[in-house]
Structure 1
Amino acid sequence: MKKLRNVIIWIIISVVVQSGILYYMNKYMFKNITKVSYKIIKSEEKKKTLSISVPQDADGIQVSATGKYVSYTSNSTLHVVKMGTGEDKTVKLNCDFSDAYAKWRVSEDVLVLIEKVENGIKVYKYDPSTGESQQALDFNNNAITYKLTRSSSSIIGLQSNDLNTIMYLKEQAVSGNLYIDRLDISGENVKMPIGITKVGDYYVFKAEDKVVLEDLENNKIVMATSDSTQNLDIPGVSNPKLLNVDSQGNVYIGNIVNDKITEIYTASLNSKSKSEDSTFTANWNKISLKEPIDRKYVYVSDLGDIYIVDHLKGEILNAKNNNSRVASFNNMYVTMYGDSESGGIISRDLDNNKLIETPIK
């Protein structure tokens, strides 16, 4: 009986000692080992600088939404080139080259083609990946020919609302007057009842059936819908230049002094005007530029990025971030595309007949 008691006591002691040792090791010896930390590293494929060959007479250079394709004209022919491979496709047209107009959509790599025919215009979507064009159809899947509001006019501009089927066409009449028409892909092409006969640059809202345009005759910026117009006046600015309307409904207007932009004004146009007259009341924010600059060297993206192109130094500066440099390029500046998340610069090497795409880093 005494021996059994001693065995039980030693067992208890052994358990206590082992538990104590394990507690000590877990609490102190393995303290830094048992705590595991980790970090997720996102690996994103960075765009590389690309170069393609183009003919010496290449003109009308445009870049697609993602920078994947570039279009140009050469010898009265429209071409589309894939930047990654240099593959060059000729876009087939059903009319004379002089009676056609083409422009990339701002949200996807699709080229919109407008062809003038005897009794109006036809609209096509060109897919550069397949080289195929698809004509706009009505609700019964029949091909549509839209009537021109002025039969002798030529289409010289196109801006589309990427959330529906509305396009705003800019037409030039034989008289030289410049008009805006509203084309509903599933309906018809109608005149915009705004009474403006000298329309300059213009941009549409991405989420609304609304357009902002330049009235060149009266030197004003106007916001218009199918049934109303409002002036966008900026105190102290007598010579405004429309730069863009971003995806959030913010307008960007430059102040022109001696043919150059000295500052940029921006305001939201989403709120309703409290004014009883034809002027839209907005809260304007001013962005001063480092120095006056030509309009062609200012780029405003759909995200509201404001980039200034220093074509002499080959630099792209961010006007909203103390003119910090975001990219550099060589050769002659052509255009920009995209935004701070996935954008780039297209420049041209005239000596070697090359187009170079440089990403914004």
Structure 2
Amino acid sequence: MKKLRNVIICVLISIIIQSGLLYYMNAYMFKNITKVTYRIIKTEEKKKVLSISIPQDADKIQVSSTGKYVSYISNNALHVVQMSNGVDKKVQIDCDLSDVYAKWRVSEDVLVVIEKVDSGIKVYKCDPLTGEKQQALDFNNKGRTYDLTRSSSNVVQLQSNDLNTIMYIKEQTGSGASYIDRLDISEGITKMPLGITKVGDYYVFKAEDKVVLEDLADNKIMMATSDNSQTIEIPGVNNPKLLYVDGQGNLYVANVVNDKIVEIYTASLNNRANNSSSGQDSNFKASWNKITLKEPADPKYVYISDLGDIYAVDHLKGKAINIKNNKSVSFNNMYVTMYGDSEKGGIISRDVDNNKLIETPIK
């Protein structure tokens, strides 16, 4: 019994000594060694230049809002193709292609297809992954045929308010007259009270049911709703060119001299404090900011993103220059179009000799 007690005492003493030694080493000897510091490094994958094959006769090339898909017309057919892998889908069309208008939505990778049938139109949404289209449904979940306000006209342009089911369609008659009508998927098509027979470019104000457009006959810019219209005045600008309305409700209008843009004027359409009146054909007065271009630019080579990035494209040198920060992006071959913004955008160009479509990221 006495031997057992001595063994236990020895074991306890050993444990105490070892514990004390370990404590001393941890507290003093290894104090600076065991302290570990680390940091998390975030890496952002850089987008690569992509290239896909397209037919030599590809026409009316359009790119989706994200740049993931492209649509084009070839051999009397509408196609959608993935930029990542070149998978090409043919969209089934139920009428003559001359009676079809297609455009990508601004907020998502969906191709809107409008087909003319007799004196009306049908509206479809096309899934670019499959190439399949589905007719747009009203509030009763039914597909409808919408009667055009001018039965002999064709749809030549489409702009939509992506917060709802409202679209503004531009129609052109055989005589060359052009109009804008308002299409509500659930309620039908109604005439816009504009009194204009020669509409140029136009854009939808995304936060409200409102449209800004060019009156080519009187060389002016107008803003309209379903019940009134106003002229937008820019002091000192005699030859205005409508460029864009971005996602924040900012309007971009160019001052054109000798067919080239020399200045770009911007103003917010959200601020109506400076609007002197709201009656029919009244003037909309805003506080304008002016951006002077270093070099005059052709309107078709100026791109404005939904975030307000402004790019002047030098198609001869293969450069797109952000005029706000003077940063440039180089690209190869023939310029086609741009998409997105300075964070997630790109340039689409075309190698005509090798039948290639090329996507170059901005960032």
Q: Could you tell me the TM-score, scaled by structure 1's length? A: 0.90
Q: Which amino acid aligns with 1:80?
A: V
2:297 aligned residue (293, 296, 321) = 293
Name the structure 2 match of 1:312: 316
Q: Aligned-pair distance for 1:24?
A: 8.7
- The alignment partner of 1:160 has SS state of strand
- The alignment partner of 2:284 has SS state of coil
Q: Matches of 2:40 and 2:270 in 1, distance apart? A: 39
Q: Matches of 2:215 and 2:43 in 1, distance apart? A: 48
Name the structure 1 match of 2:7: none
Q: Aligned-pair distance for 1:258?
A: 0.4
Q: Matches of 2:211 and 2:144 in 1, distance apart? A: 24
Q: Matches of 1:160 and 1:76 in 2, distance apart? A: 26
Name the structure 2 match of 1:359: 361
Name the structure 1 match of 2:163: 163
- The alignment partner of 1:279 has SS state of strand
Name the structure 2 match of 1:4: none
Name the structure 2 match of 1:138: 138
Answering whether residue 115 of structure 2 is matched by residue 111 of structure 1, we say no
Q: Which runs of 5+ in 1 are unaligned?
A: 1-13
Answering whether residue 253 of structure 2 is matched by residue 253 of structure 1, we say yes
- The alignment partner of 1:296 has SS state of helix
Q: Matches of 2:39 and 2:152 in 1, distance apart? A: 65
Q: Aligned-pair distance for 1:355?
A: 0.6
Q: Aligned-pair distance for 1:37?
A: 4.3
Q: Matches of 2:315 and 2:174 in 1, distance apart? A: 36
Name the structure 1 match of 2:327: 324
Q: Matches of 2:45 and 2:115 in 1, distance apart? A: 39
- The alignment partner of 2:66 has SS state of coil
Q: Which amino acid aligns with 1:274?
A: N
Answering whether residue 277 of structure 2 is matched by residue 276 of structure 1, we say yes
Number of aligned residue pairs: give it: 341
Q: Matches of 1:345 and 1:307 in 2, distance apart? A: 11
- The alignment partner of 1:55 has SS state of coil
Name the structure 2 match of 1:333: 335
Q: Aligned-pair distance for 1:23?
A: 11
Name the structure 1 match of 2:228: 228
Runs of 4+ in 1 over 4 A off after TM superposition: 21-24
Name the structure 1 match of 2:176: 176
Q: Aligned-pair distance for 1:232?
A: 1.4
Name the structure 2 match of 1:74: 74
Overall identity of the aligned pairs, in %? 71
- The alignment partner of 2:287 has SS state of coil
Cα offsets for 1:219-247 (capped at 9, x unmatched): 11111111111111111111011111000
Q: Matches of 1:337 and 1:226 in 2, distance apart? A: 30
Q: Which runs of 5+ in 2 are unaligned?
A: 1-16
Q: Could you tell me the TM-score, scaled by structure 2's length? A: 0.89
Q: Matches of 2:37 and 2:131 in 1, distance apart? A: 51
Q: Matches of 1:115 and 1:194 in 2, distance apart? A: 25
Q: Aligned-pair distance for 1:31?
A: 5.9
Q: Cα–Cα, structure 1 residues 31 and 231, in superposed 2: closer, same or farther, change >3 Å?
A: farther
Structure 2 contact 275–286 (Cα < 8 Å) conserved: no
Cα offsets for 1:262-290 (capped at 9, x unmatched): 01111100012431371112111111111
Q: Cα–Cα, structure 1 residues 83 and 24, in superposed 2: closer, same or farther, change >3 Å?
A: closer
Q: Matches of 1:131 and 1:76 in 2, distance apart? A: 16
Q: Cα–Cα, structure 1 residues 33 and 320, in superposed 2: closer, same or farther, change >3 Å?
A: farther
Name the structure 1 match of 2:3: none
Q: Matches of 1:140 and 1:352 in 2, distance apart? A: 49
Q: Cα–Cα, structure 1 residues 37 and 289, in superposed 2: closer, same or farther, change >3 Å?
A: farther
Structure 2 contact 205–245 (Cα < 8 Å) conserved: yes
- The alignment partner of 2:180 has SS state of strand
Q: Which amino acid aligns with 2:296?
A: P
Name the structure 1 match of 2:5: none
Q: Matches of 2:209 and 2:45 in 1, distance apart? A: 36
